Amino acid sequence: MRSMGIETEKVIPEGMPAELLAQYNINFRSCHKQENAWYVENEHDSYLIYEHQGNTEKLETALKWQDYLTGRGFTGVPKVVENKAGQLYVIVEGRTFFINELPSKVEFNGKKAENLLLAAEGLGRLHETSRGFYIDKVINNKKESWPKIFQERLTSLLTLFGMLKQERVRNDFERLYVENFDFLYSQGQEALQKMVMAGCGAGHAEHSDRTMLVNSFRSRELAVCDKGVLFLNLREWDTGSKTNDLALFINSYLPLHRWDQGLLRKIMERYRKNNSLNTCENVFLIGQLRFPSRYWLYTYQYLNGLNSIPELTQQFKSYVHDCYWRDRCLDSMESWL
């Protein structure tokens, strides 16, 4: 934890409550708004003042976790700035704010292999450092196991397929859906098979080694600094097997590299530099990687009219190609993992 001894500037940035800065000792030279945050700079440091929307209990845990990590010398997350009263976040005019101190950074570029390797290494260290962090209360109390969720989602996909087989398809999205169903559904079944093999149904890999998970790897939530990759957003945290995070990270960025087998291998090596995976976790990871999650996502968006059909069709088309590259890459991964 770090308390700021900086004088307060009188000019209030637009949209920021005047009382907020009074609770912190922050002096700034420039300020600009970024979505739900203000980027603030003074002569020596940079800060991000966030306005948090949603559950404050979950935020509190995230900030405590962030504080726990920085307290143990982990440089992959920004430092939380305490207010004058030593609180990690404040509520002003019914709005919740917190401040992160930012080192000088550059944007994370998922197309650069080196950025991915740094992130994998950082993630391994983050999981390892988080081992001692226990949350008092699990807010997001999920009882469902991944295989059960995957099974339910596959059933939904099968239901729609059965319906489309009986009726005339009406657009290219449905055409692609029907055309690629067999392949993608079999990928889903294989994923389930792997998870069962990993024994996660009986609570093995998934529950035996629960850890804090970042659970979100959007490129704007990552940054590169001189000490490695910064995980800027821990507020989406979850608990579970570390393979959940690893699978999400790989599924997020390997499509940009056409599921390059060499790169995947390096990512795994860099992760294992600071953390290790047992056989069960390896099998569980492959299962998670194989599941056609975005096939389900696009279908969900289509069924609920959440996205335009031409756009969804284009995304789906790209995903089908991803899946073919992924299938090839994962087949090879099974041999060396």
Binding site for another protein (CB under 8 A): 110, 142, 144, 149, 152-153, 155-157, 159-160, 163, 166, 168-172, 174-176, 178-180, 215-219, 236, 248, 251-253, 255-256, 258, 293-294, 296-297, 299-300, 303-305, 309-310, 313-315, 317-322, 324
- CB atoms under 10 Å from CB of 107, counted, come to 10
Please, which residues have CB within 8 angstroms of residue 198's CB and are 6 or more apart in sequence? Answer: 204, 205, 280, 281, 283, 284, 287
Please, which residues have CB within 8 angstroms of residue 269's CB and are 6 or more apart in sequence? Answer: none
Find the shortest distance in angstroms from Cβ 66 to another protein.
18
Of the pair 28, 231, the CB lying nearest another protein is at 231
Looking at residue 166, the DSSP 8-state letter turns out to be H
Find the shortest distance in angstroms from Cβ 314 to another protein.
8
Find the shortest distance in angstroms from Cβ 295 to another protein.
10
Of the pair 251, 282, the CB lying nearest another protein is at 251
Q: Which amino acid is at 106?
A: V
Of the pair 104, 304, the CB lying nearest another protein is at 304
Of the pair 19, 152, the CB lying nearest another protein is at 152
CA distance 312 to 297: 10
Of the pair 18, 149, the CB lying nearest another protein is at 149
Q: Could you tell me the two tokens for 290? A: 């194989």
Q: What's the chain's Rg over C-alpha atoms?
A: 22
Q: Could you tell me the two tokens for 67? A: 């504080």
Of the pair 5, 305, the CB lying nearest another protein is at 305
Is residue 41 within 8 A of residue 104, CB to CB? The reply is no
Is residue 77 within 8 A of residue 105, CB to CB? The reply is no
Tokens 């390892």 correspond to what residue?
128
Q: Could you tell me the two tokens for 16? A: 């920021």
Is residue 297 within 8 A of residue 150, CB to CB? The reply is no
- Listing DSSP states for 25-73 in one string gives T---SEEEEETTEEEEE-SS-EEEEEEE-S-HHHHHHHHHHHHHHHHTT
Strand order through the sheet with 222-225: 105-107, 222-225, 228-231
Q: What's the distance, CA 278 to chain centroid?
A: 22
Find the shortest distance in angstroms from Cβ 256 to another protein.
5
Of the pair 258, 273, the CB lying nearest another protein is at 258
Of the pair 266, 317, the CB lying nearest another protein is at 317
Of the pair 196, 256, the CB lying nearest another protein is at 256
Helix, strand, coil percent content, the chain, rounded in steps of 5: 55, 15, 30
